[in-house]
Amino acid sequence: MNPAAVGRTEKVQGNREDWNNLKQMFPFVWSYKGRVILALGCLVVSKLAMVGIPIVLKYIVDALDTDTGQIAVLPIIFLSLYGVLRFLNSGFNELRDAVFARVRYHAMNSLSVTTLTHLHNLSLRYHLGRNTGAVSRDMVRGAQSISSILNYLVFNIIPTAAEFVLVSFILFSQYSYEFAIVTFITVVLYVGFTLLVTEWRMHYRHEMNALDSSANGRAMDSLMNYETVKYFNNDSHEINRYRNTMGEWEDAAVNSQNTMSMLNFGQAAIIAIGVTAIMFLAAEGVQKDELTLGDLVLINTMMLQLFLPLSFLGIIYRSLKYALADMDMVIKLLQKPIEIKDISDAKPLVLKGASVEFKQVNFHYDGNRQILKNVGFKVEDGKKLAIVGPSGAGKSTIARLLFRFYDIQEGEILLNGQNIAKVTQESLRQSIGIVPQDTVLFNDSILYNIRYAKPDATEQEVKEAARLADIHDFIELLPEGYSTIVGERGLKLSGGEKQRVAIARVLLKNPAILVFDEATSSLDSQSEKNILSALYTISHNKTTVVIAHRLSTIVDADNILVLDKGEVKEQGNHQQLLEKKGIYANLWAIQQRKSNSKQAGLNNVTD
């Protein structure tokens, strides 16, 4: 079996606490406590009617088995009562289902929404390490499991337990103790056998769950990376990975089915022996004139009523255990701690100005490698800061910290003099706009993706933002215009087109602080020139942080920060840094040589 799947299975099986999970489920149900109580009331009436049916049947048979003159009257009364009890049993069963439907589906709705909300509240650290396909499958199974658990408890387990108590009471009070003892022993053996064997075979279900999630995760991963799979001609490799995992799932499923058949056979044998023993006792009582034919019918009917649902109880118990196993993954997900939280007295960010300041910031992701070391700088309101440096220097980390995707270990990050750790995350992120290096779009229309920054924006506002981002004319030429669906993660658009959509989106948001993380890295020279002009116009009076690779795009910055290995090595404007003849001057010279060589090559081709 796949090692990752084994680890996941063992973790679920070893840590799963069914009772705790049931308690975690309780709040999702109790919001409709009136309906829950009413449904249980309907259940009680239904079961009383169900147990009353064989009692009435006894009197019908006894009345027919007599020579008295009441024979014409009594059967009519009891037959009518028999029909009424049948109606009450069925009617209150259906009423219970109708009353409880809102409880069940509301619980599914609430759990799904709560899970998605919790996922959105988890930190970027969690989401960078998650398996989207596996999490998606766990969410679906979790929502279905809460419906199944409620269904099994309210419609099967509780009714069967109530019926068993009523039948046992009647047998103890009306007949010889042997009947109650045989019934009790049969039920105890049945339940004990079911619990023991089901617990023994549950690990097959855990394996199936883990392998199912693993297979789904791999399938989703291969589809989301479709182009990469094709680039490296690894279709067979991906199919084989999926096939191997599904093969292991198949083996676990077959083992699960085989052991279930063994369990079913054992349950049927116990019930058959118990019912036969009861009927021997009843027949002997009739033969000795200790019991009437009506008593025989009563006992037989009660046994059938008791053991019929009891025979399904094994299936229900197994299904309940499966549902609890499915729910366990969602409960574990909901128990994952939220790393980034607003403090109890967090206030909304107030921006009368939009200065940004990092004060001696130290940060690491996992403690093994320091990413930022005593980083300090300040961007005054309306000014432009550029951050440059080699890959891995910590440039993009600064943007993530500004959005408070992570909390720093030391120092402070201030916006307009306010520590971002002490203001609400919502107000913080509302005040900052970013064009990331790797733009990911929703599988929806271009209009939706641009308007995402401001859902109530008019179509005219969207088009104006698109014009500033130099993409309006391109969109207008598309057959469906702004209604064009961009595909999953925006794969139907080129890198440059996605980048311009992202720029239009942030322009529409119109935040106080702008962050451009390699925002023009995917653009051709002409588009870059057009967008840089637009960016200069719209960011003229805004506080702007530009993370750049091409130094030619940030020569107008008020201050340029040169990062290397997480430390600020140089600061100053373009001219000051060139005069220092340090890292920045060296990078500038290298890029200028490359640019001149490229231009010379183009000129030779033209000539």
249 & 363 share domain: no
Amino acid type, 273: I
Residue 569's SS3 state is strand
| CATH for 212 | 1.20.1560.10
The pLDDT value given to residue 67: 55
Confidence (pTM): 0.66
Higher pLDDT, 216 or 23: 216
Per-residue pLDDT of 204-255, as tens digits, reads: 777 887 888 788 878 888 887 776 787 677 888 889 988 998 888 888 888 8
* SS3 call for 104: helix
Query: Could you give the CA distance from residue 461 to residue 441 in angstroms, rounded to a whole number?
Result: 19
424/285 same-domain check: no
Q: Are residues 283 and 395 in the same domain?
A: no
Residues 307 and 403 in one domain: no
Among 280, 302, 334, which residue terminates a domain? 334
Please tell me the distance from the alpha carbon of residue 363 to that of residue 340, in angstroms, as a whole number. 15
In the DSSP assignment, the letter for residue 343 is -
Segment holding 28, helix H or strand E: helix 18-30
Q: Is residue 285 within 8 Å of 293, Cβ to Cβ?
A: no
In a domain, 54, yes or no: yes
Q: And the tokens for 185?
A: 């022993």
Q: How confident is the model at residue 13 (pLDDT cuts 50, 70, 90)?
A: very low
Q: How many CB atoms lie within 10 A of CB 235?
A: 12
3-state secondary structure 280-317: HHHHHHHHCCCCCHHHHHHHHHHHHHHHHHHHHHHHHH
Q: Is the residue at 115 inside a domain?
A: yes
Q: What DSSP string runs through 370-436?
A: EEEEEEEEEE-TT-EEEEE-STTSSHHHHHHHHTTSS--SEEEEEETTEEGGGB-HHHHHHTEEEE-
- How many C-beta atoms surround the C-beta of residue 191 within 10 A? 17
Q: Out of 1-10, 256-265, 266-275, 354-363, give the one with best mean pLDDT.
A: 354-363
Tell me how crowded residue 574 is: count the other CB atoms within 10 A of its CB: 19
Q: Which single residue is written with the structure tokens 């339940």?
A: 191
Residue 36 near residue 279, CB atoms below 8 Å: no
With vertex at residue 447, the alpha carbon angle to CA 444 and CA 452, rounded to the nearest 5 degrees, is 80
Same domain, 274 and 384: no
Domain boundary among 315, 334, 353: 334
Number of domains in the chain: 2
Least reliable range by pLDDT among 27-31, 290-294, 602-606: 602-606
- Specify the 3-state DSSP secondary structure of 539: coil
Residue with tokens 């349950």, as numbered in its chain? 267
Instruction: Say if CB 69 and CB 15 are below 8 A apart.
Output: no
Residues 187 and 290 occupy one common structural domain: yes
Where do we find the tokens 């390699």? 518
Residue type, 242: Y
Alpha-carbon distance of 379 to 153, in angstroms, equals: 61
How do residues 143-154 score in pLDDT, each as one tens digit? 778 877 887 777
The one-letter amino acid code at 316 reads: I
Residues 229 and 83 in one domain: yes
Question: Residue 296: pLDDT band by 50, 70, 90 thresholds?
Answer: confident
Whether 231 maps to a domain, the answer reads: yes
Say whether both 245 and 370 belong to one domain. Answer: no
Same domain as 298, residue 207 = yes
364 bridge partner residues? 370
Q: How many CB atoms lie within 10 A of CB 77?
A: 14
CB 410 within 8 A of CB 399: no
Rounded CA gap, 257 and 178, in Å?
37
2 belongs to a structural domain: no
Do 153 and 214 have their domain in common? Answer: yes
Per the CB < 8 A criterion, the answer to whether 103 and 53 are in contact is no
Res 568: pLDDT: 92
Q: Are residues 174 and 195 in the same domain?
A: yes
Q: Would you tell me how many other CB atoms lie within 10 Å of the CB of residue 458? A: 10
Contact 412, 375 (CB under 8 A): no
- Structure token digits, residue 141: 């199974």
- Per the structure, the complete domain to which residue 238 belongs is given by 19-334
The CATH number of the domain where 575 resides is what?
3.40.50.300
345-388: pLDDT as tens digits? 899 999 887 899 999 999 998 777 889 999 999 999 989 999 99
Is the pLDDT at 131 greater than 70? The verdict is: no
Q: Are 446 and 370 in contact (CB under 8 A)?
A: no
* Lowest-confidence region among 255-264, 410-419, 534-543, 587-596: 534-543
Q: Which of 567, 548, 561 is nearest to 370 (CA)?
A: 567
To the nearest 10°, report the CA torsion of 143, 148, 150, 151: 140
Q: What is the per-residue pLDDT for 506?
A: 87
* Strand, coil or helix: 122: coil
Asked whether residue 283 is assigned to any structural domain, the reply reads yes
Query: Does residue 510 lie within any of the structural domains?
Result: no
Of residues 528 and 293, more confidently modeled: 293
- The sheet with strand 410-415 has its strands ordered as 370-379, 356-364, 410-415, 418-419
Half-sphere exposure of 478 (CA within 13 A, CB side): 18
- Bridge partners of residue 432, in order along the sequence: 513
Give which of 145, 137, 116, 194 is closest to 22, Cα–Cα.
145
Q: What number is the average pLDDT over the span 580-603?
A: 76
CB atoms under 10 Å from CB of 57, counted, come to: 20
Choose the final residue of a domain: 317, 334, 351.
334
CB atoms closer than 10 angstroms to residue 455? 7
Tell whether 256 and 371 lie within a shared domain.
Answer: no
Instruction: Indicate whether 484 belongs to any domain.
Output: no
Q: What is the pLDDT of residue 134?
A: 67
- Average pLDDT score over the chain: 81
- For 445-514, the three-class secondary structure string (H helix, E strand, C coil) is EHHHHHHCCCCCCCHHHHHHHHHHCCCHHHHHHCCCHHHCECCHHHCCCCHHHHHHHHHHHHHHHCCCEE
280-284 CB contacts, 8 Å cutoff, 24+ apart? 281/176, 281/178, 281/179, 281/182, 282/179
What proportion of the chain, given as a percentage, has pLDDT over 90? Answer: 17
**Inside any domain, residue 411:** yes
Residue 35: helix, strand or coil by DSSP?
Answer: helix
- The pLDDT of residue 459 is 92
Q: DSSP state, 338?
A: P
More confident site: 72 or 273 = 273
Position 54 confidence tier, pLDDT thresholds 50, 70, 90: confident
Looking at residue 284, its pLDDT comes to 84
For residue 337, give the DSSP letter. P
Q: What is the CA radius of gyration of the chain?
A: 36
